[in-house]
Structure 1
Amino acid sequence: DAAERAGAREVFLVAEPMAAAIGVGLLVNEPVGSMIIDIGGGTSEIAVIALAGVVTHVSERIGGDEMDEAIVQFMKKTHNLLIGERTAEQIKIQIGSAYPLDEELEMPVKGRDLIANIPKTVVVRSEEVREALQEPVGAIINATRMALERTPPELSSDILDRGIVMTGGGSLLRGLDRRLREETGLPVSVMDDPLTCVVRGAGKILENIEEYRKVLF
């Protein structure tokens, strides 16, 4: 409706995981199964795509924002330190992980002491942050398993050969691909520039509207 009010003559919709798949160059029109996990700020979309359609789709309200909130709550509970979402995101980016690191990291974190009610700095270790992220990471893993369980057998063999593709900002969490690989037994790869995959996919669709008409609704 908003697009039509803005003056667009035609309005098309495309599923977010489909746009991401096209953005990374998956052959979505082919009769083979491709699995994509798109982890955004608010949701994680897991889909199996074949013949220009979404065969299996699982959506969880878990993404980068929930990871940040998990870190905020962990800092309150463990260090009695109140931090903002921006600081939590910095912690996630700098030392966050979903799998043990070859060399664990640490960083100083500034916030407000909840007991003394004054500014305070504590040193946080990557092992602690990994513990804080267990719940959101676990939810993404469970959603991936659910999608795999719902996938038709003939497409499951394709995924076994082709693996799982990860996109979205959440896919940049250190070791998340390795954790998923260990949990599923499947090849998992993070695409280059995962933050822009959906936008690039939408652009490809607009440039080749007839080729991708079947993915639109």
Structure 2
Amino acid sequence: MFEKKLGIDLGTYSILIYMKGRGIVLQEPSIVAISQDERIVAIGEEARAMLGRVPEAIEISRPLRDGVIADYYVTERMLEFYIDRLVGRFRLFPPEVMVSTPVGITSVERRAVEDAARKAARRQAYTIPEPLAAAIGAGMPIDTPTGNMVVDIGGGTSEAAVISMNGIVTSNSVRIAGMKLDEAIINHVRRKHNLIIGEQTAEDIKINIGSALPMDEPLEMEIKGRDQVTGLPRPITITSQEVTEAITEPLTAIAGVVKSVLEKTPPELAADIIDRGIIMTGGTALLRNLDMFLTEQIGVPCYVADNPVACVALGAGRGLDMREALERAAMPAYY
């Protein structure tokens, strides 16, 4: 009655927390600023504002890489900071927590997430595969004997899965997602314009003018960076057509993952997917025309879920109430 239930989407790029009865209560970047003596200076949005703007004494760290924990200590501190903010530091009833994990990770990587969440919440924590959480959060009828396909494209990983009867039938993942698109934009600007830009600028370009397909009315944006030859600051104008060219290669790799899952899908479930289409979740699903790009590449209609950014956190929170049903259908290593 008094205990709180939290669903956590522990992403490479951002962390979202869903609280039962209140909805999404926290959305912050998964970034931590650390001093030389390993003291945490800032977490989340405050640390993100420091990206590329700090002295050598402060390091800006992403404790998660490609959807898994790269720095255990910092991840645990970050989780503890956010959970304390939501439920209080001194708590009589520790919260019940379920954390999403990428579908392709090893048992060791998954246990690291469980341990970090358990220490932060001071109670047994559970994990749920990200595509399954995304499907629950998107409101797909996963408890029926029908084929439901979800593609979750986040910051560090892209995952595709076919789900039926509360379990994953077939799945695949690739460590190419939103941050790889940013890298592709950085490399393109360096090659074509001899200009060095940072992660933050690349992300702004992707959000403001990025498109998976050429647009009828191209957009353009002025950006500033450091000239590779002179070393001095210089502004340039970049177009949406250039961004489309730059990100085509990583997007094609993501489409390849979706195709590989469809190739392994049982024919009866494949027939359901052709009728129902594929649901896209994750922050990168918001990229302009990505649904049309995947539809062209795969030949199956793709649709962006309502509120795709929040789907995994919503599904993780709701998964706590469905834990028995999920356990019956799950791989033995989960839950």
Aligned with residue 73 of structure 1, among 187, 190, 200: 187
Cα deviation per residue 1:22-76 (whole Å; 9 max; x = unaligned)?
Answer: 0010111110011100001100011011111111111100011000011001100
Tell me which protein shows more helix as a share of its residues.
1
Mean CA deviation greater in 147-156 or 204-213: 204-213
- Secondary structure of 1:186's partner? coil
Aligned to 1:92: 206
Aligned equivalents of 1:7, 1:184: Cα separation in 2: 42
Distance 1:158 1:117, change over 3 A: same
The answer to whether structure 1 residue 60 and structure 2 residue 174 are counterparts is: yes
Q: What's the CA shift for 1:185?
A: 1.7
* Amino acid aligned to 1:82: I
Q: What's the CA shift for 1:102?
A: 2.1
Aligned to 1:22: 136
How many residue pairs align between the two structures?
217
- Secondary structure of 1:90's partner? helix
Aligned equivalents of 1:211, 1:34: Cα separation in 2: 17
- Secondary structure of 2:128's partner? coil
Aligned equivalents of 1:11, 1:117: Cα separation in 2: 50
TM-score by length of 2: 0.62
- Secondary structure of 1:14's partner? strand
Q: What's the CA shift for 1:114?
A: 0.6
Aligned equivalents of 1:213, 1:146: Cα separation in 2: 26
Aligned with residue 225 of structure 2, among 111, 122, 136: 111
- Secondary structure of 1:72's partner? helix
Aligned equivalents of 2:219, 2:202: Cα separation in 1: 15
Asked if the contact 2:166–2:325 (Cα under 8 Å) also holds between the matched residues in 1, the reply is no
Cα deviation per residue 1:134-176 (whole Å; 9 max; x = unaligned)?
Answer: 1110101111111111111111000001100000011011111
- Larger RCO: 1 or 2 (CA < 8 Å, sep 6+): 1
The answer to whether structure 1 residue 31 and structure 2 residue 145 are counterparts is: yes
Aligned to 2:308: 194
Q: What's the CA shift for 1:8?
A: 4.7
Aligned equivalents of 2:311, 2:185: Cα separation in 1: 26
Q: What's the CA shift for 1:206?
A: 2.1
Aligned equivalents of 1:90, 1:6: Cα separation in 2: 33
Aligned to 1:157: 271
* Amino acid aligned to 2:153: I
Tell me which protein shows more strand as a share of its residues.
2
Q: What's the CA shift for 1:210?
A: 4.0
Aligned to 1:126: 240
Aligned to 2:28: none
- Secondary structure of 1:109's partner? strand
> Identity rate of aligned residues, in percent?
51
Distance 1:9 1:119, change over 3 A: closer
Aligned to 2:319: 205
Q: What's the CA shift for 1:3?
A: 3.3
Task: List gaps (5 residues or longer) in structure 1.
Answer: none
* Amino acid aligned to 1:206: L
Q: What's the CA shift for 1:108?
A: 0.5
The answer to whether structure 1 residue 184 and structure 2 residue 298 are counterparts is: yes
* Amino acid aligned to 1:60: V
Aligned with residue 44 of structure 1, among 158, 162, 167: 158
Q: What's the CA shift for 1:9?
A: 4.4
Aligned equivalents of 2:117, 2:214: Cα separation in 1: 46
